[in-house]
Amino acid sequence: MTTITAIVADDESVARRRLVRMLEESGRASVVAACAGGRDAVERVVALRPDLLFLDVQMPDLDGFQVVEALAGRGGASPAIVFVTAYDQYALRAFDVHAVDYLLKPFDAARFDEALARAIHRATSRHPGDEEQLRALLADYLSKARSAQAEYLDRVAVKHDGMLRIVRTTDVDWWEADGNYVRLHAAGSSFLVRSTMAAIEAQLDPRLFIRVHRRYVVNVDRIVEVQPWFAGDAVAVLRNGAKVRVSRTYRERLHARLGAKTDTDPAS
């Protein structure tokens, strides 16, 4: 039986490790490389010629679509590509470059197994007509995902001095996990919201907010400086002078979002 080989490319170490683990545990594919950036992914694909490529869309050097373009420029057979991202706005473009599937984070094991089966099928058969079927399946999947999730949160009600106060999300500087609550910081004040950070983040517009730590989600427009800190962590300085810790896990993604180059050695 021919071994199906795969490469994973995702700049988030937690997400990258999860994909590697899920692929290995499936028993259906062997991971030959795991990459944290687009350029490394291109080089590994050219050198190792895998059957499958699980590819993040947003990465700090080359994004997923630039990786596909670079591979096309190198010639040779391309792997079956599954895009993996938290943003559904890239979906139709992904299929325009002949992606096999589009995993929208967060995804469960069943959805992953479906994408893997589809990718293996493409890698081993490549029937004409698969494209249109995949487009139809994608449209159905995204329709269900959107109907299950409300529109982006544009305001939140908080209790203050015995009254109900409405805070627009665009006025929020950052969100902070606080036990069984989430504390929002806006205009020098802070308020508790009875919710979890995961629930709040799922409702926030990813174009306006970015997670920088397991406890913090920050309004990108408020960030004026990112300072190095200890052990690869950093500190985001906001317009009002507030400082929010950026963990190493999210630091590269934040730099990429801000259009900044990152040093591989944070102490350098």
121/143 Cα distance (integer angstroms): 24
214/105 Cα distance (integer angstroms): 16
For the cut 80, the answer to whether the pLDDT of residue 65 exceeds it is yes
pLDDT, tens only, 77-97: 678 999 988 776 666 666 666
pLDDT of residue 144: 52
For the cut 80, the answer to whether the pLDDT of residue 49 exceeds it is yes
For the cut 80, the answer to whether the pLDDT of residue 194 exceeds it is yes
pLDDT of residue 25: 93
Average pLDDT rounded to a whole number, residues 2-10: 88
pLDDT of residue 140: 53
**Is domain 155-257 given the CATH code 2.40.50.1020 in the classification?**
yes
268/258 Cα distance (integer angstroms): 20
- The domains of the chain are located at 5-147, 155-257
* First-last CA distance in the chain: 48
Q: Tell me how far CA of residue 157 lies from CA of 180, 182, 191, in angstroms.
A: 17, 13, 10
Tell if the pTM clears 0.95, that is, is over it: no
Same fold, 5-147 and 155-257: no
**Is domain 5-147 given the CATH code 3.40.50.2300 in the classification?**
yes
